[in-house]
Amino acid sequence: MNVLLSYPIFPTSFWSFEKAVQGIGKKAFMPPLSLVTVAALLPQEWNFRLRDRNIEPVTEDDWEWADMVMLSGMIAQKEDYMEQIQEAKRRDLPVVVGGPYATSLPNDMLAAGADFLVLDEGEYTINLFVEALKRGETSGIFRSKDKPDVTLSPVPRYDLLQLDAYFLMAIQYSRGCPFQCEFCDIIILYGRKPRTKTFSQVEKELDVLFDLGWRGGIFFVDDNFIGNKRTVKPFLENLIEWQTNKGYPFSFTTEASIDMAQDDRLLELMALSKFSTVFIGIETPDTDSLKLTMKHQNNRKPMNESLEKIAKSGLRIMAGFIIGFDDEKKGAGERVFQFATENAIPGVTFSMLQALPGTALWDRLKASGRLLDDANLNQTTLLNFVPTRPIEEIAEEYVNAFWKLYDPKVYLKRVFDHFMLVGQAKVHQDPELRKKLANQHKTDFDLKGVLFGLKMLAKLGFVRSTRFVFWKYLYLMFKKNPGGIGNFLSFAAFMEHFLPYRKMVKKEIQEALQARIDGKVKVLDTNIELSDELTEGVEWYKAS
């Protein structure tokens, strides 16, 4: 069996970082961990070709070689996902689909012509699919209500990747999250009981990446790395030992909940194992909205105190924010901007709320007849439901806040303030710790990286209006926190992505708003009888 594993294109988004990634000679931010895991779960006597369409096209030779095409991806990859299914079917190739998008919206896959839907988690459903193939079946849908024991998951086929094409590698330690945020589909897809791999499993994966020659950053793709606090601290202790024995070849990035700030030992272990960055879902500074959306963990302690503590432990913070919650007060966009500024959060993802299929939010909005369309997770997408305040007001606040967040001078100020906080951490102040955590492996001279750095230095320090504050911050960083200069320059370089991206956000939101005002949107058929008040509200919304 010749299997073509195709990974659809991600549209430009906050996370794509095209300009910055390409400037240092890379092609994409991160590889498709899903497909290399699928390849490891399938019969190993099969032949595999992986084509990540974010770095290379699927060629005519690939199509002719393939006996079967397999795709995985997220809702954000919808457009190219559908096109790849249709292209394969045009060539009479059987198509197998899976991943979060297919699992959430299987009807989309059937409508596009997919033959096999291998849904939920592959440790259970891939075997069902393979057995069906052996029986000669030519189509099928394979699901499992049970959540697999991830200690059964094999080492992903990292050898299928073009490692040097990516900015970060990807690895997984756990699945699931213990919280119950109304808008989040993670607990629907992976459950509320976090399941973790053993350290020996992850160690094998790290060893494979090390032996393949990877050095640098690795993203733990867990949706909440600290979800199982009972197992994560022993895991980190083992990780520190592995890093020490190997000479600290890797740094790590992950996602975690803000309650990590309440565990001093956890923060210490993350810093000592060389976690450099953590993404935290703040969502909103409005405590009433957090309560409504059931994000209670963000209300237990003052968020500003928790964020400061995390930064001072040595972890760089990126944070996600959302606008459009029910009963949200006017000025939410400005409150997000002020919160990010006051707490010196450099990387801020900001989007309009999307109701995702299967979530509590989706069910609540569906029951009240307020759904307008399927979700599309991107920063250039309007709410996919009828909000409780005018959509024009929300869109205006959103665009204005996004524009201000990535004003070059404002952004550089957040970056500087943040790394002055991070620089206070013991891991950055103690000379012995700094030496221990430094990458001890020699790397080849990176001409592209040096040239990109010089280009950014010229742009920021001489060409752009940022030149005066740039040199000011660089001088102060050199004087007060010289160890943070590399971080400061790296995050400053991300402006190459954010400046054109904020223009795109503004343009596409304005176009989407006009299309909605013109009535080019339908309310999803919920097959229920609405109250007079809701019917009137929906009709008003469609008309306006």
Quote the DSSP letter at residue 208: H
CB 325 within 8 A of CB 286: yes
- Which two three-digit tokens encode residue 514? 């006009």
Residue length, the chain?
544
Least confident among 9-13, 72-76, 234-238, 437-441: 437-441
Contacts 24+ apart (CB under 8 A), 532-540: 534/368, 534/369, 534/370, 535/369, 537/386, 538/369, 538/370, 538/386
**Mean pLDDT value across residues 281-288:** 97
Residue 496 clears pLDDT 90, i.e. is over it? no
Provide the pLDDT for residue 238. 98
Least confident among 102-111, 352-361, 535-544: 535-544
Mean of per-residue pLDDT scores for the chain? 91
CB 284 within 8 A of CB 336: yes
Tens digit of each residue's pLDDT (9 = 90 or more) over 400-456: 999 999 999 999 999 999 999 999 999 998 888 888 888 755 555 567 667 777 888
Residue 542 clears pLDDT 50, i.e. is over it? no
3-state secondary structure of 130: helix
**Mean pLDDT value across residues 95-101:** 96
More confident residue, 455 or 114: 114
Provide the pLDDT for residue 517. 81
Cβ contacts of 208 within 8 Å, gap of 6 or more? 155, 158, 159
β partners of residue 347: 318
- Which two three-digit tokens encode residue 128? 């069902």
Q: What type of residue is 22? A: Q
To 10 degrees, what angle do helices 408-422 and 467-480 make? 0
Confidence grade of residue 466 (pLDDT, cut at 50, 70, 90):
confident
Residue 364 clears pLDDT 60, i.e. is over it? yes
CB 339 within 8 A of CB 401: no
Provide the pLDDT for residue 463. 84
The whole-angstrom separation of Cα 366 and Cα 543 is: 20
CB 145 within 8 A of CB 196: no
Residue 15 clears pLDDT 90, i.e. is over it? no
In three state form, how does the secondary structure of 357-418 look? Answer: CCCHHHHHHHHCCCECCCCCCCCCCCCCECCCCCHHHHHHHHHHHHHHHCCHHHHHHHHHHH
The whole-angstrom separation of Cα 284 and Cα 336 is: 6
The whole-angstrom separation of Cα 132 and Cα 296 is: 44
Confidence grade of residue 536 (pLDDT, cut at 50, 70, 90):
very low
More confident residue, 490 or 124: 124
Minimal CA–CA distance to 506: which of 415, 406, 371, 377? 406
Residue 299 clears pLDDT 80, i.e. is over it? yes
Provide the pLDDT for residue 444. 54
Phi-psi region of 93 (alpha: psi -120 to 50; beta: other; left: phi over 0): beta
Provide the pLDDT for residue 503. 92
CB 68 within 8 A of CB 2: yes
CB 348 within 8 A of CB 309: no
Phi-psi region of 349 (alpha: psi -120 to 50; beta: other; left: phi over 0): beta
Provide the pLDDT for residue 535. 37
Minimal CA–CA distance to 316: which of 425, 157, 444, 178? 425
Least confident among 296-305, 403-412, 456-465: 456-465
Confidence grade of residue 74 (pLDDT, cut at 50, 70, 90):
very high
Give the gyration radius of the chain's Cα atoms. 24
Tens digit of each residue's pLDDT (9 = 90 or more) over 127-175: 999 999 999 999 999 999 899 999 989 999 999 999 999 999 999 999 9
Least confident among 115-124, 367-376, 465-474: 367-376
DSSP per-residue string spanning 460-491? IIIISTTHHHHHHHHHHHHHH-GGGHHHHHHH
Provide the pLDDT for residue 458. 87
β partners of residue 96: 70, 116
Provide the pLDDT for residue 404. 97
**Mean pLDDT value across residues 489-511:** 89
